[in-house]
Amino acid sequence: MIRVEKLSKTYGRNGYPAVEALKEATFQVVTGEFLCVRGASGSGKSTLLNILGCLDQPSAGVYWLDGEDVSHYSDAPLSRVRNAKIGFIFQSFNLLPRTTALENVEIPMVYGHGRVDRKRARQALERVGLGARADHFPTELSGGEQQRVAIARALINDPALILADEPTGNLDGKAASEVMRLLEDLHTEGRTIVLVTHDPAVAAYASREILLQDGAIVSDCSLGARNRGEV
């Protein structure tokens, strides 16, 4: 599913010393894997996730997504890849204001093939248990509900890869475990999931963990024996 080789990202502005956010990361993620990327803040995990999500491009190295080398794609094909293959889940939900839950879920369909299918959007909301909340605005929903709307939005184009950036960071325990259970379901369905967190309890849902420190991978181990704690 994912293969990266010597992936680096350097941020530099004229007059300032360049910052190496990511240093020659090399790894593979096979289809259906649940990978957790863990590290302190500033360790480069968000940078890595943005590159994997085709929102950002590496300064050096190669990124194969689903057999395609996307490291040198221009804006338009990159946008198509995001639309068809990737679903994002953010820490701050990022739902559009003044826009109902249902309309939020519909947005990815605007930029894909085919029409905006309202029925499918409703089904996606039902799947995350929010069928009754379709016409509510984000301000009328709890944090957990907002994140579940965001998950429905991430799923609407049926992407093979789900990227989650601290999805439980703004949630309390009960809402957090609901969200993690949904992610686990998606994993069971066969979707590939890359989760970024600094929380070991959340990381415990994953089957493999990559540890980042100062932009470099310091450990990459499979969590075969799950020692799941309560989140």
Partner 1 sequence: MKAAKIASEALRNTGRYRLRAVLMTLGILVGISSLAVLSSIGEATKRETMQRFKNMMGTFDTIIVRPGGGRSRGMPTLVNVPPTLRFEDANAIASELPEIKSVAEVQNAFDIDVQYRARTTSPAVFGVSPNWLALRSEDVGDGTFLSDEQNLSLARVAVLGTDVRNGLFPDENPLGKTIRIATVPFQVIGVLKSRGAGPAGATLDNIVLIPINTASRRLFNRDFLTMLIAEVKDPSRSYETTEKVTALLRERHHLRPPALDDFTVTNPAATMAQVTRAGTTLNKILTGVSLMALMIGGIVIMALMSIAVSERRKEIGVRRSVGAGRGDIVQQFLLEAVLVALAGGVAGVVIGVGGVQVLARFQRLPHILLWQPIAGAIAIAVGTGVLFGIYPAWKASRVDPIQALRS
CA–CA dist 53, 48 (Å, integer): 9
- Encoded tokens for 17: 């010393």
Q: Which stretch binds partner 1 (CB under 8 A): 106-114, 141-149, 171-179, 190-198?
A: 106-114
Residue 101: name the closest of 81, 74, 128 by CA. 128
The answer to whether 143 contacts partner 1 (rule: CB under 8 A) is: no
Q: Which stretch binds partner 1 (CB under 8 A): 63-71, 97-105, 169-177, 186-194?
A: 97-105
The answer to whether 13 contacts partner 1 (rule: CB under 8 A) is: no
* Collapsed DSSP state (helix, strand, coil) of residue 138: helix
Total of residues contacting partner 1 (CB under 8 A): 35
Compare residues 98 and 226 and give the one whose CB is closer to partner 1.
Answer: 98
CA–CA dist 172, 21 (Å, integer): 30
Compare residues 27 and 73 and give the one whose CB is closer to partner 1.
Answer: 73
CA distances from 138 to 93, 102, 103, 145, 166 (A): 10, 10, 11, 9, 19
The answer to whether 169 contacts partner 1 (rule: CB under 8 A) is: no
CA–CA dist 209, 217 (Å, integer): 10
The answer to whether 115 contacts partner 1 (rule: CB under 8 A) is: yes
**Which contiguous run of DSSP H or E holds residue 64?**
strand 60-65
Residue from the set 9, 38, 45, 82 that interacts with partner 1 by CB under 8 A: 82
Residue from the set 27, 32, 66, 80 that interacts with partner 1 by CB under 8 A: 80
Residue from the set 28, 31, 111, 228 that interacts with partner 1 by CB under 8 A: 111
- Binding to partner 1 (CB under 8 A) within 18-57 occurs at 46, 50, 53, 55-56
Transcribe 13-41 into DSSP letters: -TTS--EEEEEEEEEEE-TT-EEEEEE-T
The partner residues of 22 in beta bridges, in order of sequence, read 9
Residue from the set 62, 116, 203, 216 that interacts with partner 1 by CB under 8 A: 116
- Name the site residues for partner 1 (rule: CB under 8 A): 46, 50, 53, 55-56, 75-76, 78-80, 82-84, 88, 90, 92, 94-99, 103, 107-116, 153, 157
